[in-house]
Every structure is written in C-alpha cells, then in structure tokens.
A and B are shown apart, each in its own frame.
Chain A
Amino acid sequence: MFGASIFLAGLAAIGLPVVIHYLARQRTRVLPWGAMAFLQQSISSASSRRNRLWDKLLLLLRTLAILFLVLTFAQPLASRLWIGGSELETVFIWDISLSTTARGEKPVIESMKESLLKEMAKLPNASRVQILLAGSELRWLRSEPLTLSALNRKSVESAINQQQADHGGSELATAILTALSVEDAAKTRSIVVLHDGRREGWQSSDSTRWQAIRQCLAGNPRLSLRSVDPKASLEAPQLSVTQVKSERDTIALNSPVRFRATLKNHSKTDPVTSTVIWRIDRREVERSNAVSIPAGEELKLEQVLSFADTGCHQVECEAQLDGDILPADNRLSSVVSVPEGIPIVIVDDTPRTQPGQILPSEFLAAALGSPLQKEGRKTPKSSLFQARVVKSSEVTPALLSGNVAVLIAQADSFPAARALHELVERGGGLWLFMGWEQTPAWADELLKELGLEPLAKSRRTLTKDPEHPMKIMPSDPAGAFALGFARLDLHRAELQAVQQLDERVYLDDEKLLQTEEGHPVLLSLAVGTGRVMLQTTDLNRFNTNLPILQSFVPLMRQGMLEAIQGALPKRNLNPGEPIPASVSPGDPIKRPDGSLRDRSRSADTMDPGIYQIDQPSLDKPELFSVRRPASESELAPISPAEIAALFESSTSPPPAAAEEVRKGLWPLAWLFAILAGVFFIAEALLAHWIARQRASQSVSIDLKPVF
C-alpha cells in the first residue's frame, strides 16, 4: 500500500524511454547503401549482439530509475511479511449467543458481521487475527491464528458471513480471559469485543473475573481491550418461555403427568397477550389464545399430558407474540421417557399364615401401581413398574442383572449380597424394609458389602433448615435394631424430603428410627451410582398400618423413583452435562444444529436444544434436551459507559485505526529512493562507458595498397 498513491500517476513516465526509443526508430534516416552483405554479417556478429545487449540494459536502467523515483514519491508501505511477520495481533470476541438473533432493522448478528468485517478491513496484511466465538460454548472460528494476506481475506470473510448465532448464552468476561490467556509477549495484542449491547452477557456481577481481567491488562502495556458497540437499541415486545418441566423425566404409559411452563414478559411497561401452544413431538395438543402477561411479570402455566406411546417424547411449549423482538426464546422443550415398564424385583419371604392376609409384597406392588406378574396375565400399560415377587432363595445374579431395583420386604436369607452390590453400583436401587426384629445376619453382611460405615449411638441431626432441625434417633436405643443400625453412617445421608404423613402411624414402637415427633424415617443413601433406601418401618400389618395409609403410595412411588434415578437416564440436561453413556453406546448423536457427533463427544452438549440418538435396532430415537439459559432472554441494555467502567482505566485507549495500521507496516520510501539513485547513477555510468567504447570504435579500415 502507499501513503501518497496520487503520485502513482507518474508511473506513466516509465514508458518515456521506450517511447523515445520507438519514436527515434520511426524517424530513422534512409540511406541507400552498397555494402549490404557486410551489414548483414555485422548484425549477426557477436560484437553487435553485445552492443545491442548494452543498449537494452541501458534502457532497463533508465526505466527502473524512473520507476523507483515515482514509487518513492508515492511513499510505499510494505507489510512485514518478509521480515518475520507482523507484531500486531487482534483477537475478536464475537458474541453469537441467542440474544443476537434479536431483530431490529435487521438481526443483530448481521449488524455484528458488518462491524467485524469493517474492523478486519482496517487491519494490515501480515497481522495476525483470531476470532473467538462467544456462544453456547467458547470456541475459535479457526483452530489456528490467521496471518492476514490478500489471498486469504476472502475466505475469512466468507466464514464470517456463514456463521450463525446459536441458542446458548454468552459469557464475555470468560471470553476476554480466554483471549488474554493466549498471550504472546512479543506481540502487540488488541482484543476487540463485538457484542449485542445486552447487559447479561457481560457478567458484570462476576467481580472475580473482571478483577483478573484488569490485573492482566494493567500488567501488560502491549495489551488493549475495546468494544464495538451496536448501533441500534432493542426496544420492542419481548416474551420468552423460560422453563418447561415435568414432575419427572420417566413417566408411565398413559399416565397423566403435569407439565409446568414459565412465561415471562420482559417489557417493563407493556403487557402482552400471546397464544400458548403445547406440542408433543411437534404435534399440537393444546392451544390457549389470549394469554395475558403483565409487564415484567412471569406466568406459570400447567398442562396435564399423557402419552399413549412408549419411547422418548418431546414436549414443547410455545408462546406466540406478534412483533416479538426475540422469537427464538418463545418456545422451549422438555423430554420425557415412557418406558414399557421398569422391571423391579420384590423379595418377600413372608409366609401367608392367615386367609385374606395381604403380604408386604402385595402392598408394595399395589403402591407402585404394578399388579403382580402372573403367568398368562399381561401387565396393564399404565404401570411404570413391572414388579416380580420372588423368594430370597430365588434371587440370582442373573435375575438381578435384568432388573433396575430390588425391594426386600422380608427375607430370611440373602445369599446374593455381592450381586446386589453390583446392581446398586451400576445405578440400580435397593430398598430395605427393616422391621423391629433383630436385624438379620444377612442384613449385616449386606450393609457391610455396601460399604456402609458404623454409626455412633447418638442422636443425629439432619436438616437443611437450621431453624428447624430434625433429629433422628432409634425409638429403642437399647433395642437390637438400633444396634444393627449402628453400622449406618448417617453423616452420608441427606435429608431428601419430608414426607409429611397426615395419618398417624400406629404402633409407634415399631418404628426403628423416628423423628422426635414420631415420624418414620426413610433413609436414602448413595452407593456408587445407585441408591439404598432404608425403610425403618416394615410392612407387616401386624406391626404397622403404614401400608394402608394413603401416603404410603406416594411415599413408595416417589421413593422408588429416587431409588432408581441412577439407572434411568436423565433426559433434561444442563449445558455441558454428558449424555448417559449407557444409552445406545456406539450410535452417533445428532445435535440441535443437525450435525452428527460420535459418542466419544457425549459431553459436547453446550448447545441448547434437542439431542437425538437414532437406534437402528429400534424405531424410536432416544431424545435428550439441553436447557437454554434463561438469561439470554434478558435484553436489558448496557451502555458504553458501563462497559468502559468494567474495563476501567487499566486498559490503554484504543489506538487510532490509521496508527494501528501503520504499526504493522514498514515505510519503504527511503529504500526506493536509494534504489532510484543507484539506477540513475548506474545508467549514467553505463551510458558514458558505452559512448567511450563506441568513440574508440570510430575508426576506419586502414587500406594498404599492394604493389
């Protein structure tokens, strides 16, 4: 490039020597000549060729002298490509989060592309560029820094134009720290943040990160940080669906399930009226028109849905609003799994001693909604669980491997303790109903096998509410059961829930562990990826009325789901949570953007949306949803002054574009001037030498007579 390109018009003067040479030839004198043969011989002679070469060299030197003289006046500026590359490095942090799809005159993402292309156009060749995309995850547009040249600018511009916004959030402070961490002390680095003007993306409340950023900038004068602020503000109706969830991810076939959706009107002044649509697997199942939400308010909606097909289902809630500035957040999905039936085993050695006696296993099966499997009878499809009752002597490792949970209602012996341990380790559930009788020996072995540590014989307090501590104590501290439970380590127990029993449990003395108020306690202990539930009340009707209480059913169902949660794949994930490895191992994962990834990248779930795994052996794909950060729907603006306050004065003021450009360039005028002088002198010397040579050649033949 040139600092005074107007002088390039003087390049026309390069043609002068050639034109003069040509015109001179045109005005050649015509001379009738007799000794043509000698002329012909002379033209082909070596001396003539040499003379012609000298003349051509002279012409070349004159042309080069004029060329470099003109270029000197034009002030050439060369990139530092030949001198080891530029010292200027620019890192663009480009916010491509969901909020950049907001529409002003045009989508914000498109305006940002224009700004980015303009910024890049100002950069000189040979400077290095990196583009960090701040979206659902931080990633570089290109894996390696790019040294700009005239050849690769087009490909970079094309990549920028093709880049789309994703559905994730942006964490600009994290991105800036990432950009700062790739520091090269030899480079002058400029970090430029292209953002959509939203406050949320700047993580302004994350003082730790911003402090680290300021420290980094203050300690290195070669670093600079600035932002490219969007021109348009986003003021328009904005409604979002921030949450869609069900009571659980795994539900029974044809079983009604309550789904809850949260809608939010982000406008601070204007209420909105929208149409809410519920869909199952993209098929509309419910529509509500004229759903009004006051300004700045949230609205929680409930919808009861049931599923007539097994497999995974996508439940979507959409809130339609005309003129919504950010329609991308107007719908949200949740995934539920409807299995054929979760196989569980109930171990019950209770003898039927009386007619009409309901065995504990029967109570359990009924509570879980799974009538006992008997030969020839098909399990009704409304059951989530498929229970099978066996005697303790029938329990084998093979039996356990095909089931998700084991409930030991009553067992005289339990030889398969090791297999039970393995079931729990791989995520299955174990439910022990401990009676008032002395803990059977097998229970001790089992507890030992499960690695449960001894418990001190003292009152323990388990609470998440410091103001309302709950104390758990053996009802009979001197009883044998208490001794057995002495092996339990209540420090590892968590108070999961307080199941408030409305009905009073009779026969309180049969509660082995109770609260001060006499409430029975269900202990839920994590072992491996599974859980061990310790029911401190047995189900023998002779000992307790618990099985006939209404609260027994929800207790069992909720407790059972908790017990097997390790075995059931979680369907609704947070960004970054891996897709369970047990699900269709080997099959590729289809991401929300339609791309396929292999299973080795199961943790690549930063992008919100639906992830799908197609199983060739089955006709129903596995589905998972990754939640969208609700903060991306918050379009509250941030002012340039606030951004500057984040940067503080520790950042150097952004250099002027022209100065920044010139930093990456070498001025070559001095070099060209020297070259022009060299060529002029060489031309003069050569012309003088040639003239002298030819003057010495101006002799005639000495003709001597012969006589």
Chain B
Amino acid sequence: MDSNVTAVAGLLEHFLTAEDIRHLDKASFPTAQRIRASRTGAHKARLRGGTTEFADHRPYSPGDEVRRLDWRIVGRSERLEVKLYEDPSTLDNILLLDGSGSMKFADSTRTKFSYGCSVAAFLAKLLLGQRDPVGLSIATASEPLILPPKSNSMQLAQLLRTMRQVEPQGKTAVPAQIRQLAKSLRNPTRVLLISDCFVELELLEAELKMLAARGHRFHVLHTVAPEEVSLNYRQPLRFTSLEDSLRIDANPQEIVLGYLAAMRKHVDGLRRICLHYGAGYEPLVTNRPVGRALVDFIQRQGKR
C-alpha cells in the first residue's frame, strides 16, 4: 500500500507541478450528477457507501457508521477501516485523451499532449480521490487504448503509467474513439475529452450526439497552444504537418487574419455543440498552469 502511494506520487510528479498539486488538494470536483431514473432499473444510481457492491476500504473517520467497519481488518491489524461499496447512482468518468500527432505541437510551451496528460492526471487524482470511478481512453491512430473506469487505489497509477507510455502520432481518431466508447460503456459515463479538437466538427458532433443519446455526458477540454490561437509569428515559416506530410510555406503576417477567422469559427462551432448537448466547454491554453486552469473549470462545474 505504501509502495503504491509512493509510486503514484512519483508518477504524479511527472505530470504535475507542486503548484498543481497544491491546487489539487484544495479542489473538489462537484459530486457527479445523479441521474434520477424515471423508472426503476433504467439507470443504476451509484451512491457512495450505500450499495451492495464492495468497492474499496478507507480509514475510519469520526462520524462514519460503525456497521461499516470491516471487522476482518480490525481483527487482523487493529486498523479501523470502513468498507466502501459501489454507488450505482454516480457517473463513471472516462478521460478521453487525444493521442494524435497534432497534440505533439509545442513552441513556447510544452506539448499539448504533455499538457493534456497533466490535465488528465489532475482530474484522475481528483476524481479518484473522491472515489469516483475514472477510466482512460487514448485516441490514437493505432489500436485504441481503453482503461475502464474504476475507483480502486491502483487505478491512478495504472492511468498514469499508461499515459507515460503513449507517444502521440498519426491523424486524429477522437470521433472514432467516441463512437467506440458510446458503444462499449455500460453505465452512464461522463466523458472528459482532452483534445485540440482539430477534427471536422460534423464528425465530432455526430459521435458526441450518439454519446449523449446513450445517456452519457461529456465535457470538452479544448487543449491548444498559445501560438495556435494567435499565430503570433513575424517571419515567414515553413509549416510542416504533425500528422501527415503536408507542408505549407506562408508568411504568418499575411495570413493571420484569415487564420484567426477560421480558428474562431471552429471554436464557435465547438461551443455551439457543447451548448446544444448541455456539455461543458473549457479552453485550456498550454501556457496556463494546469492547476489554476482546472480549478477554474471545476468551480464552473459547481455552478451548473
């Protein structure tokens, strides 16, 4: 157990700064929205500590019900541990991380993928700390990677290790991955999409629509580099695609207006999709500390 904590701490340090972790300690992700089933059995509601499915242990805290003590552990180790059970009234969380080549972009800041991993690590830690099941899906051009949502103590380490092993490449596979999730997820799940969303909005919307239709919820954490939303370059550049062999020679000063207009239109489209499906849209620019950015995001979630 202690080794697990140590390992997790080490992994977290890889993704989060000390300031991020300080924010993490203070943050509290709003309780997952409970779905009020219109009829019994339509959705399993997940309630913390009050269901029949054992989920995990935690140290006894004053105020906890005595009947929840796991006497076996008390008898063996004289530690007071309470049992935790699956709460069928809560939503699973899936962190859908974009592993396409475009996420490798970095100029004045770190790569978007690295930033996205930090975001995922932060949210995973936060949610798992709240005993919310968290899973991971990394959308890559190769075999998609899915870790089903779990809330056990090993899950965070598993998530972090998995993210560390992934190298972003290839074209964006987010819509396909969303489709896959929509089909595979059994329980109502909150999908937290961490991506630059450089994909055709029609495709993305179609998959998000299907996701929402199957009772899942989603949030778009739009991860972009500051250069991508400003094109603040003075000299002519040769832009080479991170996803294919496309190459464009251009003078950013000549094309900046048109670029920003196109980008603005894309962002507006994303926002419209999120508004339409009651989803959240959070722009995350990679030059902003992860902790601070997510704290604002979390606070806004609390206002919903």
Contact = CB atoms under 8 A, between A and B. Distances in A.
B248 A43 contact: yes
B241 interface: yes
A32 B243 CA distance: 9
A43 B266 contact: no
Interface in A30-69: 30-48, 51-52, 55
B80 interface: no
A659 B89 CA distance: 108
Given A29-B235, A33-B240, A34-B101, A42 B198 contact: no
A33 B274 CA distance: 26
Contact of A34 (B243, B254, B259, B262): B243
B257 A47 contact: yes
A48 B280 contact: no
Interface stretch (A388-396, A397-405, A485-493, A696-704): A696-704
Contact of A707 (B102, B103, B224, B280): B280
A697 B242 CA distance: 26
B304 to A, nearest CB: 6
Given A38-B262, A39-B259, A707-B303, A694 B103 contact: no
A707 B250 contact: no
A699 B257 CA distance: 9
A47 B242 CA distance: 26
Contacts of A701: 229-230, 260, 263-264, 267
Contacts of A700: 226, 229-230, 232, 260
B15 interface: no
A550 B83 CA distance: 184
A344 to B, nearest CB: 109
Contacts of B296: 705
Interface residues of A, number: 37
A52 B254 contact: yes
A133 B303 CA distance: 110
A47 B275 contact: no
Nearest to B224: A703
B112 interface: yes
Interface in A121-138: none
Interface stretch (B128-136, B156-164, B281-289): B281-289
A41 B256 CA distance: 11
Given A700-B226, A705-B300, A39 B198 contact: no
Contact of B283 (A39, A47, A51, A703): A703
A658 interface: no
Interface in B139-193: none
Contact of A28 (B232, B237, B242): B237
A30 B240 contact: yes
Contact of A33 (B226, B239, B253): B239
A705 B240 contact: no
B20 interface: no
Contacts of A151: none
Nearest to A41: B262
B255 interface: yes
B241 A28 contact: no
19 contacts: A28-B235, A29-B238, A30-B237, A31-B233, A31-B237, A32-B239, A33-B242, A34-B105, A34-B241, A35-B102, A40-B248, A48-B254, A51-B251, A694-B253, A697-B253, A698-B232, A698-B256, A699-B260, A701-B264
Interface of B: 101-105, 107, 112, 196, 198, 222, 224-226, 228-230, 232-233, 235-243, 246, 248-251, 253-264, 266-267, 271, 274-275, 279-283, 285, 296-297, 300-301, 303-304
Given A34-B102, A43-B255, A701-B229, 18 more contacts: A25-B249, A30-B237, A32-B242, A33-B239, A34-B103, A34-B105, A36-B248, A39-B259, A40-B248, A45-B262, A697-B257, A698-B230, A701-B230, A701-B263, A703-B229, A704-B283, A705-B281, A707-B280
Shortest 5 CB-CB distances between A and B: which pairs?
Answer: A34-B102, A45-B258, A42-B258, A700-B230, A703-B283
